[in-house]
């Protein structure tokens, strides 16, 4: 039997961590997730970079993620521009969303996505802050996604000056993740109990 090569070992480790963390997140009580989501959203909205930014890339929550709709609603009230992604041909297309109730539909993987015919397209160069999803993050700021590779490809094209922020529960932060050469780090991780800053 041939030994597994390095990438196979990394992928196997990632799969194992992904399953474990998702299981733990799914087991969090609903009341805890709701309370923690409010705490995390408040921390984000109180950050100076939020106040000074105009265009915010964010995602719609699914699979018991932090409730990012709290930030979307607050940002729209604050006259910020919200940019949401839509999966198209294994890539992410970006659109401005001004009315989530009317401009979103269930898209790839059951995630709410912009209806392209009802939203103005956005460009990567428009983004001032990027809130990125992930199953797990480590204390070196590496991110473990859901395995589709959409954000790995997408984040590599975001300008370095754009702050990349992770919103997650404490249980999603681990000491170390297996990292590949194409993995992109985030700049900040906000949880219910802590804010991790890369610098």
Closest Cα to residue 62, out of 21, 20, 26, 18? 26
180, pLDDT greater than 60: yes
The confidence band for 138, taking pLDDT boundaries of 50, 70 and 90, is very high
Percent of the chain with pLDDT over 90: 74
Beta-carbon count within 10 A of 127 CB: 20
Domain around 36: 6-197
CATH number where 99 lies: 3.40.50.10420
* Mean pLDDT calculated for residue range 73-90: 94
Residue 1 has a pLDDT of 41
Instruction: Judge whether 170 lies within some domain.
Output: yes
Taken in order 33, 96, 149, 105, the sign of the CA dihedral is positive
- Cβ–Cβ < 8 Å for 100, 68: no
Residue 176 binned pLDDT confidence (cut-offs 50, 70, 90) = very high
Q: What is the mean pLDDT of residues 167-193?
A: 91
CA 119, 83, 69 angle in degrees (round to 5)? 105
Residue 48 lies in a domain: yes
Q: What is the DSSP letter of 69?
A: H
pLDDT digits (tens, 9 = 90+) for 18-44: 999 999 999 999 999 999 999 999 999
- The vertex-107 CA angle with 104 and 111, nearest 5°, equals 80
Q: Is a pLDDT exceeding 70 seen at residue 114?
A: yes
Q: What is the pLDDT of residue 198?
A: 87
CB atoms near residue 119 (< 10 Å) = 21
Mean per-residue pLDDT for 120-147?
94
Quick check: is 125 in a domain?
yes
By DSSP bridging, strand 129-132 and strand 163-167 are parallel
Structural domain count of the chain: 1
| Residue 52 resides in a domain | yes
Confidence class for position 4, pLDDT limits 50, 70, 90: low
Distance between CA atoms of 5 and 1, rounded to whole angstroms? 12
Give 197's strand partners. Answer: 188
Q: Do the domain assignments include residue 1?
A: no
Instruction: Report the chain's mean pLDDT, rounded to a whole number.
Output: 92
Question: Is-above-0.85 flag for pTM?
Answer: yes
In a domain, 94, yes or no: yes
pLDDT by residue (tens digit) across 64-81?
999 999 999 999 999 999
- The first and second tokens of residue 66, run together, are 């932090």
CA angle 126, 109, 128 (to 5 degrees): 15
Asked whether residue 186 is assigned to any structural domain, the reply reads yes
Asked whether residue 173 is assigned to any structural domain, the reply reads yes
Could you read off the pLDDT of 46-59 as tens digits, one per residue?
A: 999 999 999 999 99
């Amino acid at each position: 039997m041939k030994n597994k090569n390095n990438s196979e070992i990394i992928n196997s480790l990632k799969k194992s961590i992904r399953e474990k963390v998702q299981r733990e997140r799914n087991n969090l009580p609903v009341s805890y997730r709701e309370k923690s989501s409010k705490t995390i959203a408040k921390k984000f909205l109180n950050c100076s970079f939020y106040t000074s930014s105009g265009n915010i890339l964010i995602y719609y929550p699914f699979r018991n993620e932090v409730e990012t709709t709290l930030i979307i609603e607050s940002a729209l009230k604050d006259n910020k521009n919200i940019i949401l992604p839509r999966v198209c041909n294994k890539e992410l297309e970006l659109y401005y969303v001004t009315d989530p109730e009317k401009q979103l539909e269930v898209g790839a993987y059951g995630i709410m996505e912009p209806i392209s015919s009802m939203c103005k397209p956005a460009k990567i160069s428009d983004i001032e802050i990027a809130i990125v999803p992930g199953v797990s993050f480590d204390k070196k700021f590496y991110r473990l996604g859901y395995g589709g590779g959409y954000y790995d490809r997408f984040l590599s094209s975001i300008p370095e000056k754009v702050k990349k922020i992770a919103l997650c529960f404490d249980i999603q932060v681990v000491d170390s993740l297996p990292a590949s050469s194409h993995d992109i780090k985030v700049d900040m991780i906000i949880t219910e109990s802590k804010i991790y800053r890369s610098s």
